[in-house]
Amino acid sequence: MQAKLAVLAGDGIGPEIVQQALKVLDRVAQVFGHQFETEDGLIGGIAIDAKGIALPDETVEICHRSDAVLLGAVGGPKWDNPRAAVRPEQGLLGIRKELDLFANVRPVKVSPYLLHASPLRPDVVAGVDLVVVRELTSGIYFGKRGRYLEGEEERAFDTMDYARSEVERVVRFACEMAAKRRKQVASVDKANVLEVSRLWREAATDVFSAYPALQSEHILVDACAMFLVRRPATFDVLVMGNLFGDVLTDEASMIAGSMGMLPSASLGAGTVGLYEPIHGSAPKYAGLDVANPLATILSGAMMLRHSLGLEKEATAVEAAVDKVLAEGYRTRDIHSGAPEETKVGTAAMGDLVAERIGY
Ligand code: IPM
Ligand code: MG
């Protein structure tokens, strides 16, 4: 097949990890006979430096004319002034919103070879295979916000705000996903305190009633944070609002051993999606060839599956990653120092995965 990919490498380690994913995708194209044409776009800090804004119109146009978007990471100390009107993160939030990618899919699967990379006990993380579906285009990330003075005192506010239809579509998305998996779905909220969570819970309950074959439940977000470390293997699909999903997926990444292992797909109503690792731009590791590219490579696999319909190819990439881990190759974040492990850099890890596709 022929596909057009928008490549937004961004800042920090973004360019190095994206390069590894492209290496792997090139290999997939060669082995399976596809043509992937790429077009680069600026996003985040690098876009601010070049164009004065984090998401230039040209970048949006590149994404609109592509079948999928591969993204690295945005942000860094250079642009970190909290008072700045223009911030790298605006690029990321902007492109998610612009493409209406309301469902952020973050799978947490523990490789049997990385059981000891997690700070949690191996018997707790063994067999974990869960997916967090995070609402991505609404909630407190996009609600009204501001600062004001009350007397002499400075105050600020952000608003968590959801429309019933926004909750319904993302919960439906999660239910469809659960139906193809182990048929369990949990909606996460804070309905004992927040009005927006009570609406969320009502809407989720209505959607659940249309899926009688699924085992469904509601969990309060604080309890969920605890269950994720106590019994992560019991979860199948978890669905939650934007902020809760942001927080709980960083927590959940520790189940898999490292932020550097978790891919994500941001999807909407169509097949166009945005694929990025869940981690940030890690500026202190930029350019040092130490970053783990596996989350981005696995995001590429998700892209093959969800946007391009290439299931066999996606599986080949995931199998190649498994093989590399089975053979003991580790970037520093997942390297335990055990004698059977070989520590490798970013580019070498990309080569190792690419070489194992098609064999
Ligand atoms: C993520 C990141 C982003 C988010 C930041 C960089 C804006 O933490 O994708 O989880 O909060 O969504
Ligand atoms: Mg985050």
Active site residue 246: yes
With pLDDT > 70 as the criterion, what percentage of the chain qualifies? Answer: 100
User: How many Cα atoms are found within 13 Å in the side-chain-facing hemisphere of 67?
Assistant: 18
The domain 119-256 is placed in CATH, from the list 3.40.50.300, 3.40.718.10, 3.30.1510.10, 3.30.870.10, at 3.40.718.10
**Contact 251 CB / ligand 1 (< 6 Å):** no
Q: Would you list the domain boundaries of the chain? A: 1-106+264-359, 119-256
Residue type, 55: L
Give the pLDDT score at 82: 82
What CATH number has the domain spanning 1-106+264-359? 3.40.718.10
Residue 305 has pLDDT above 80, yes or no: yes
Separation of 248 CA from ligand 1 center, angstroms?
Answer: 12
Instruction: Give me 233's structure tokens.
Output: 């293997």
Q: Where are the alpha helices (DSSP H) in 52-152?
A: 57-64, 89-98, 122-125
Residue 215 has pLDDT above 80, yes or no: yes
**Contact 260 CB / ligand 1 (< 6 Å):** no
- Cβ–Cβ contacts within 10 Å for residue 71, how many? 28
Place of tokens 């998700």: 302
The Cα 239–Cα 198 span in angstroms is 15
Select which of 11, 23, 162, 190 is catalytic. 190
pLDDT, tens digit, 9 for 90 and up, residues 22-38: 999 999 999 999 999 99
Separation of 194 CA from ligand 1 center, angstroms?
Answer: 23
Give the pLDDT score at 358: 87
Residue type, 233: A
**In the chain, at which residue ranges do the beta strands (DSSP E only) sit?**
2-10, 35-40, 68-73, 103-109, 129-135, 145-150, 153-158, 184-189, 215-220, 237-240, 263-267, 273-277, 329-330, 342-343
Active site residue 49: no
User: In this structure, which ligand is nearest to the CA of 12?
Assistant: 1
Give the pLDDT score at 76: 97
**Contact 278 CB / ligand 1 (< 6 Å):** yes
- Cβ–Cβ contacts within 10 Å for residue 30, how many? 12
Active site residue 285: no
Instruction: Give me 178's structure tokens.
Output: 């659960």
Give the pLDDT score at 178: 98
The Cα 26–Cα 358 span in angstroms is 12
Contact 76, 283 (CB under 8 A): yes
Q: Kindly indicate the confidence band of residue 176, based on its pLDDT and cuts at 50, 70 and 90.
A: very high
Contact 357, 320 (CB under 8 A): yes
**Contact 92 CB / ligand 1 (< 6 Å):** yes
Mean pLDDT for the chain overall:
97
C-alpha dist (Å) from residue 156 to 87, 138, 144 = 18, 19, 11
